[in-house]
C-alpha cells in the first residue's frame, strides 16, 4: 500500500517571525544602482495604518511617539511619516530606512533627544556636522522627516537647474571611487549622502525590510518554464514532479513569477519525494514526513505493515542529507499516526488534531480542510484522550489567503502571523486568486498575530495607481481637504453620543448617521448627525454615473481595458489586458457590484483627462448647492470624497431621476459576455451588493439603492423604498455603520421603523 496516499496531507511550518531577507550579500551591491526611480517615488506603497503596523512589528520606540510635525502640530510618528511622503510624493519606505540608517530609530528602545532631533541626518554634513545652520533650522523629528522627503523631491524638480546635483550617466568620485549612477534615485542618494558605505547600508536595510516579494509558503511557478518552487525561509525549493506537488500542496494556490524575480532567491534543497514516501538508504528504512525522516525500527516493521517492495524508493546519503531525523516507528499505529489524526470529540463536538501524542485544538473547522485536506474525521471520547498532552491552537498554514468576517482586509499567513495584503492592486499584482480566500471568524483571526503588511515592489507592479495629486479637483483649492478632518487610520470616523444631534423621532441604533426622508417632498422626517461630513466611499459612484449619462455615455459602444490607464485601487474586476466590454455591462459592474475598475474605463470613454471629469463632478455639486460635498476620485476610495447625509439626499434623488441610473441601481443581478475575450473566461454575472434587494419577505419594495464601505467610512447604504400598503416612497440613508458583518440588519430595521412611524 502507498501510505502517502492513505494518510492525509499535512503541513505545519513553525518558527519565529524574522525580517524578510533576500539572498543578497555585499558582493551583490552595485554602487551605480541602489533603488529605482519608481520605488523612490512610489509614495502610495504604505498608508498610515501600514506604517504603524511596520513600527509595531519592530516594537519601535516610534510606535507611540507623539511629537511636533513641521508645522508644530502634535501627531503620531507614523502620521508624520505618511504626510511627508504624500506631500512630496516620496516613498515612505525610503523615510523608514533613513530613520534607521541615520539614527537607528526603528530599533532603538530609548533613543536620545539628539537622535530624534537629527532623525534623518538632514543638514548634518561632513563640513560642519551637528553645528550646521541647515540642521539647526530643521532640528526635530517632524522637520527632519519632512526635509528628508522634501529634498529628494526638490532634487527631481531642480536637477536640470542645479549643476551640483548628481545626475545619471555622469561620473562622480565617491570616496575616491568613480561611480556612474544609472538613474536619478541613485544619483540623489549620493547627493544626500556622498559616501559609498552609507549608501550600501541604505541598500542593505532596504532589501532586508522590503526586498522579499513572496511570503513563506507561496507556491511560485517560473513564468518562463514549468518549474515550480516553494518559498520557504526566504529561499526557493524546486518541486521536482507533479506527484510530489500533489502529495504536499494544493495546485490552485500556484502564482506565476518572472524568472528575473525568482533569481533573487537563493536555492535551497529540492523537494524530490512525495510526502509519506518510504525511502531506503543502505539497510535503513524511513518514512518521509515533510522535512523529517522517521526511521523504521527495522526491516521487519516495514514488512509487517505491508509495504510492497515496488513502493520503496532507493536513495543515497546525499539524497537525504538535508532532512532531520524524527522519532522511530515501531509499528503500524505509529506509521499511520505519523501524519496525525483528526478527532471529533463526542461530548463537546470539538475538533482536534493528534500528532506525536500531543492534542491540538482546531478553532475553525476550515483549518482542517486547508491544513489536512485528506484526513478523515474519527470519532473519539474524552476518556480516549487521557494519555495525551494538550498543545496550542492550530493556525492556518503558511501561504493561506485569509479574510476575517466583519473586515474587508485580506491577509496571507506566514509563520503563524497574518500579513495584510496592502490593497487589491497588490493582491492582483501577486497573481492571487479571490476564489482562494478563506473567511474565518474574528476569534480565529485574532489567534494569528498581525505581522508586517505585504507590498508589491514597483518592479512587479502591473499598473500605476493614479495618485491623489492627479485626481484632486482644482475646485478644492483654498478649501479644507477631507484628509485634514478624517485620518486614514483604519478606524471608522464617528461622532460621540454626547455630540450627537437628532432630528425628529429618535431611532435607537449604533449606526452613527441615518436619515429618513419623504421622497416626493424631500422633507427630512428623522435623522442622526445628518450634517456631519463623512467619507462617501462608493456612494461617490452615483454622482459619477449621473455625470457619465450627462456627458453622453454611449451604452452600446465598447471599451477596451488598458491596465496602465484603468486599473483602480481595490481592483477585483476579473479582466485581462485588451478585453473589450460593452459600456452598459461596465455600468452594471459599477453600480450593481460596486466594482472600481469599470468606473475608470467608463470615465475614460467620455473624458480623456480624469481630473477634468472630477472637476465636473464638483461643479455639479456646487450647482446643486452642496457646499459640504467634494470629490477627489471617481469611485470613492479616497477619503477626500466627502459629504453629509443631508446633502447626499439631494445628490441621490437628483441623480437617480435619470432613467438609466435608476434602472441600474435597482437591478437585482446581471449577466453578460465580453465583446472580446482574451483569457477564455468571457462570462460574467453577479448579484447586487445590497443583500436586501434580493431578500424575500421584505415589508417594502426597493426601487434603487447603493452600498458603500471604507474602514474610515464604515458601512453605508442608501435606498429609495416604497411602502407596499400605499406606495408611499421614502429615502433611507445610513452612514457610519460599524457592524460590517451584519451591515444590512440595521438599515432594514430602520426602514421598517420608518414605514411604521411615518
What does the pLDDT look like over 255-284, one tens digit per residue? Answer: 988 776 787 778 889 999 988 889 999 999
Q: What is the mean pLDDT of residues 533-549?
A: 96
Q: What is the mean pLDDT of residues 429-446?
A: 90
Whether the pLDDT of residue 483 is over 60: the answer is no
Give the per-residue pLDDT at 480. 33
**Residues 6+ away with beta carbon under 8 Å from 54:** 46, 96, 452, 453
Cα–Cα distance measured from residue 718 to residue 649, given in angstroms and rounded to the nearest whole number: 9
Residue 352's nearest CA partner among 332, 375, 326 is 375
Residue 746 CB: number of other CB atoms within 10 A?
Answer: 20
281, with CB counted inside 10 A (0-12, 13-18, 19+), is: middle
The larger pLDDT score, comparing residue 345 to residue 490, is at: 345
Whether the pLDDT of residue 111 is over 50: the answer is yes
**Residues 6+ away with beta carbon under 8 Å from 411:** 401, 402, 403, 404, 418, 419, 420, 421, 448
488: pLDDT confidence band, cut at 50, 70 and 90? low
Cα–Cα distance measured from residue 562 to residue 306, given in angstroms and rounded to the nearest whole number: 60
Give the per-residue pLDDT at 650. 96
Q: Is the dihedral of CA 722, 728, 729, 734 positive or negative?
A: negative
Between 15-19, 161-165, 398-402, 556-560, the lowest mean confidence (pLDDT) is in: 15-19
Q: How far is CA 505 from CA 496, 720, 750, in A?
A: 19, 20, 12
Yes or no: say if 467 and 611 are a contact pair by the CB < 8 Å rule: no
Yes or no: say if 615 and 474 are a contact pair by the CB < 8 Å rule: yes
Yes or no: say if 480 and 699 are a contact pair by the CB < 8 Å rule: no
Percent of the chain with pLDDT over 90: 61
Q: What is the mean pLDDT of residues 222-247?
A: 89
Distance of CA 633 to the CA centre of its chain: 20
What does the pLDDT look like over 491-513, one tens digit per residue? Answer: 898 999 999 999 999 999 999 99
Place of cell 441621490: 652
Nine-digit cell string for 239? 518541486
What does the pLDDT look like over 1-47, one tens digit per residue? Answer: 333 333 322 222 222 222 333 344 555 688 998 988 878 998 887 88
Q: What is the mean pLDDT of residues 547-565?
A: 93
3-state secondary structure of 75: strand
Tell me the backbone φ, ψ of residue 244, rounded to 5 degrees.
-65, -45
DSSP string, 5-69: HHSPP-------------S--GGG--TT-SS-HHHHH-GGG--HHHHHHHHHHTT-GGGS-EEE-
Whether the pLDDT of residue 384 is over 70: the answer is yes
- Expressed in angstroms, the distance from the first to the final Cα of the chain is 74
Please calculate the CA angle 93-98-99 and round it to the nearest 5 degrees.
100
Q: What is the mean pLDDT of residues 134-146?
A: 95
DSSP string, 136-149: HHT-SHHHHHHHHH
Can you give the C-alpha Rg of the chain in angstroms? Answer: 30
Whether the pLDDT of residue 468 is over 70: the answer is no
Give the per-residue pLDDT at 401. 95
Q: What is the mean pLDDT of residues 94-100?
A: 95
Percent of the chain with pLDDT over 70: 91
Whether the pLDDT of residue 86 is over 90: the answer is yes
Whether the pLDDT of residue 163 is over 50: the answer is yes
Give the per-residue pLDDT at 487. 60
Cα–Cα distance measured from residue 450 to residue 432, given in angstroms and rounded to the nearest whole number: 20
Give the per-residue pLDDT at 204. 87
Nine-digit cell string for 383? 476518556
Give the per-residue pLDDT at 429. 78
**Residues 6+ away with beta carbon under 8 Å from 480:** none
Place of cell 502634535: 74
Cα–Cα distance measured from residue 8 to residue 373, given in angstroms and rounded to the nearest whole number: 6
Q: What is the pLDDT of the chain when averaged over all its residues?
A: 86
**Residues 6+ away with beta carbon under 8 Å from 610:** 466, 470, 471, 600, 603, 604, 634
Between 174-188, 339-353, 454-468, 609-623, the lowest mean confidence (pLDDT) is in: 454-468
**Residues 6+ away with beta carbon under 8 Å from 702:** 666, 690, 692, 693, 719, 720, 721
What is the DSSP-derived secondary structure letter of residue 228? Answer: E
Yes or no: say if 630 and 647 are a contact pair by the CB < 8 Å rule: no
Q: Is the dihedral of CA 696, 698, 703, 707 positive or negative?
A: negative
Domain boundaries, the chain: 26-210, 277-336, 341-390, 493-757
Yes or no: say if 17 and 415 are a contact pair by the CB < 8 Å rule: yes
What is the DSSP-derived secondary structure letter of residue 710? Answer: E
Q: Is the dihedral of CA 159, 160, 163, 168 positive or negative?
A: positive
Give the per-residue pLDDT at 486. 61
Please calculate the CA angle 412-415-419 and round it to the nearest 5 degrees.
30
Whether the pLDDT of residue 136 is over 70: the answer is yes
What is the DSSP-derived secondary structure letter of residue 95? Answer: H
Residue 440's nearest CA partner among 399, 398, 396, 397 is 396
Tell me the backbone φ, ψ of residue 60, rounded to 5 degrees.
-70, 145
DSSP string, 410-435: EEEEETTEEEEB--HHHHHHHT--GG
Residue 570's nearest CA partner among 468, 428, 401 is 428
Yes or no: say if 745 and 739 are a contact pair by the CB < 8 Å rule: yes
Give the per-residue pLDDT at 482. 38
Give the per-residue pLDDT at 9. 26
Q: What is the mean pLDDT of residues 155-172?
A: 91
Yes or no: say if 436 and 401 are a contact pair by the CB < 8 Å rule: yes
User: Which is it for strands 502-504 and 437-440: parallel, antiparallel or unpaired?
Assistant: unpaired
**Residues 6+ away with beta carbon under 8 Å from 245:** 228, 239, 251
Cα–Cα distance measured from residue 588 to residue 582, given in angstroms and rounded to the nearest whole number: 10
Residue 250 CB: number of other CB atoms within 10 A?
Answer: 15
Whether the pLDDT of residue 114 is over 90: the answer is yes
* H or E stretch at 287: strand 284-289
Give the per-residue pLDDT at 362. 95
Distance of CA 653 to the CA centre of its chain: 34
Q: What is the mean pLDDT of residues 649-677?
A: 95
3-state secondary structure of 722: strand
What does the pLDDT look like over 53-76, one tens digit per residue? Answer: 788 878 899 999 999 999 999 999
Place of cell 518562463: 224
Whether the pLDDT of residue 748 is over 90: the answer is yes
Give the per-residue pLDDT at 466. 25
Alpha helices in 533-681 (DSSP H): 540-550, 563-566, 583-591, 597-606, 610-623, 645-655, 659-665
Q: What is the mean pLDDT of residues 454-482?
A: 37
**Residues 6+ away with beta carbon under 8 Å from 223:** 256, 257, 258, 259
Q: What is the mean pLDDT of residues 339-367?
A: 92
What does the pLDDT look like over 573-612, one tens digit per residue? Answer: 889 999 999 999 999 999 999 999 999 999 999 998 999 9
Give the per-residue pLDDT at 212. 60
Tell me the backbone φ, ψ of residue 238, rounded to 5 degrees.
-75, 135
Task: Write down the CATH superfamily of domain 493-757.
Answer: DD-peptidase/beta-lactamase superfamily (3.40.710.10)
Give the per-residue pLDDT at 99. 96
As its CATH architecture, domain 277-336 has 2-Layer Sandwich (3.30)
**Bridge partners (DSSP) listed for residue 257:** 222
Amino acid at each position: 500500500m502507498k501510505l502517502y496516499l492513505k494518510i492525509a496531507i499535512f503541513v505545519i511550518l513553525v518558527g519565529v517571525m524574522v525580517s524578510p531577507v533576500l539572498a543578497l550579500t555585499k558582493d551583490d551591491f552595485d554602487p551605480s544602482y541602489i533603488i529605482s526611480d519608481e520605488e523612490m517615488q512610489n509614495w502610495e506603497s504604505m498608508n498610515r495604518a501600514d506604517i504603524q503596523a511596520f513600527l509595531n512589528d519592530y516594537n519601535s520606540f516610534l510606535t507611540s511617539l507623539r511629537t511636533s510635525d513641521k508645522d508644530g502640530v502634535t501627531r503620531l510618528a507614523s502620521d508624520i511619516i505618511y504626510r511627508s511622503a504624500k506631500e512630496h510624493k516620496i516613498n515612505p519606505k525610503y523615510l523608514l530606512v533613513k530613520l534607521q540608517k541615520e539614527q537607528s530609530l526603528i530599533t532603538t528602545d530609548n533613543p536620545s533627544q539628539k537622535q530624534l532631533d537629527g532623525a534623518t541626518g538632514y543638514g548634518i554634513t561632513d563640513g560642519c556636522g551637528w553645528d550646521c545652520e541647515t540642521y539647526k533650522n530643521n532640528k526635530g523629528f517632524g522637520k527632519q522627516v519632512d526635509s528628508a522627503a522634501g529634498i529628494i523631491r526638490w532634487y527631481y524638480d531642480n536637477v536640470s537647474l542645479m549643476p551640483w546635483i548628481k545626475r545619471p550617466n555622469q561620473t562622480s568620485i565617491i570616496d575616491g571611487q568613480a561611480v556612474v549612477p544609472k538613474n536619478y534615485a541613485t544619483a540623489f542618494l549620493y547627493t544626500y549622502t556622498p559616501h559609498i558605505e552609507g549608501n550600501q547600508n541604505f541598500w542593505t536595510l532596504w532589501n532586508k525590510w522590503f526586498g522579499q516579494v513572496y511570503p513563506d509558503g507561496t507556491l511560485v511557478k517560473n513564468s518562463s518554464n514549468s518549474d515550480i518552487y516553494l518559498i520557504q525561509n526566504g529561499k526557493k525549493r524546486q518541486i521536482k514532479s507533479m506527484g510530489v506537488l500533489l502529495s504536499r500542496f494544493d495546485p490552485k494556490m500556484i502564482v506565476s513569477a518572472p524568472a528575473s524575480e525568482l533569481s533573487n532567491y537563493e536555492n535551497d534543497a529540492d523537494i524530490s519525494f512525495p510526502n509519506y514516501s518510504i525511502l531506503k538508504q543502505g539497510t535503513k528504512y524511513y518514512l518521509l514526513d515533510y522535512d523529517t525522516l522517521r526511521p523504521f525500527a527495522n526491516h521487519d516493521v516495514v514488512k509487517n505493515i505491508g509495504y510492497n517492495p515496488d513502493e520503496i524508493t532507493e536513495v543515497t546519503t546525499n539524497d537525504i542529507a538535508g532532512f532531520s531525523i524524527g522519532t522511530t516507528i515501531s509499528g503500524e499505529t505509529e506509521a499511520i499516526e505519523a501524519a496525525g489524526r483528526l478527532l471529533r470529540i463526542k461530548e463537546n463536538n470539538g475538533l482536534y488534531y493528534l500528532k506525536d501524542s500531543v492534542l491540538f485544538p482546531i478553532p475553525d473547522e476550515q483549518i482542517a480542510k486547508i491544513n489536512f485536506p485528506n484526513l478523515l474525521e474519527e470519532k473519539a471520547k474524552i476518556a480516549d484522550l487521557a494519555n495525551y498532552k494538550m498543545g496550542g491552537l492550530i493556525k492556518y498554514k503558511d501561504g493561506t489567503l485569509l479574510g476575517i468576517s466583519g473586515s474587508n482586509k485580506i491577509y496571507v499567513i506566514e509563520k503563524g502571523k497574518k500579513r495584510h495584503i496592502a490593497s487589491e492592486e497588490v493582491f492582483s499584482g501577486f497573481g492571487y486568486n479571490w476564489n482562494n480566500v478563506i473567511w474565518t471568524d474574528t476569534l480565529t483571526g485574532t489567534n494569528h498575530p498581525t505581522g508586517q503588511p505585504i507590498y508589491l515592489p514597483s518592479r512587479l507592479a502591473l499598473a500605476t495607481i493614479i495618485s491623489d495629486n492627479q485626481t484632486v479637483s482644482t475646485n478644492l483649492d483654498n478649501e479644507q481637504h477631507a484628509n485634514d478632518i478624517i485620518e486614514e487610520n483604519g478606524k471608522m470616523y464617528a461622532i460621540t453620543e454626547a455630540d450627537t444631534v437628532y432630528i425628529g423621532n429618535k431611532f435607537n441604533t449604533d449606526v452613527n448617521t441615518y436619515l429618513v426622508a419623504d421622497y416626493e417632498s424631500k422633507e427630512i422626517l428623522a435623522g442622526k448627525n445628518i450634517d456631519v461630513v463623512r467619507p462617501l466611499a462608493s456612494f461617490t459612484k452615483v454622482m459619477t454615473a449621473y455625470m457619465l449619462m450627462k456627458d453622453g455615455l454611449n451604452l452600446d459602444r465598447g471599451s477596451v481595458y488598458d491596465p496602465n490607464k484603468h486599473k483602480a485601487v481595490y481592483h477585483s474586476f476579473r479582466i485581462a489586458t485588451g478585453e473589450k466590454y460593452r459600456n452598459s455591462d461596465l455600468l452594471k459592474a459599477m453600480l450593481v457590484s460596486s466594482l472600481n475598475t469599470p468606473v475608470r474605463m467608463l470615465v475614460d470613454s467620455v473624458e480623456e483627462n480624469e481630473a477634468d471629469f472630477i472637476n465636473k463632478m464638483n461643479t455639479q455639486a456646487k450647482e446643486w448647492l452642496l457646499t459640504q460635498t467634494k470629490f477627489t476620485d471617481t469611485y470613492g476610495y479616497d477619503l477626500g470624497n466627502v459629504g453629509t447625509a443631508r446633502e447626499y439626499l439631494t445628490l441621490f434623488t437628483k441623480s437617480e431621476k435619470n432613467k438609466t441610473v435608476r434602472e441600474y441601481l435597482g437591478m437585482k443581478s446581471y449577466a453578460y459576455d465580453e465583446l472580446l475575450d482574451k483569457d477564455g473566461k468571457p462570462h460574467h454575472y453577479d448579484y447586487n451588493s445590497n443583500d436586501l434587494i434580493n431578500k424575500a419577505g421584505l415589508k417594502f419594495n426597493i426601487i434603487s439603492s447603493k452600498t458603500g464601505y471604507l474602514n474610515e467610512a464604515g458601512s453605508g447604504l442608501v435606498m429609495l423604498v416604497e411602502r407596499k400598503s400605499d406606495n408611499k416612497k421614502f429615502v433611507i440613508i445610513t452612514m457610519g455603520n460599524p457592524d460590517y458583518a451584519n451591515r444590512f440588519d440595521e438599515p432594514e430595521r430602520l426602514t421598517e421603523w420608518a414605514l411604521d412611524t411615518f
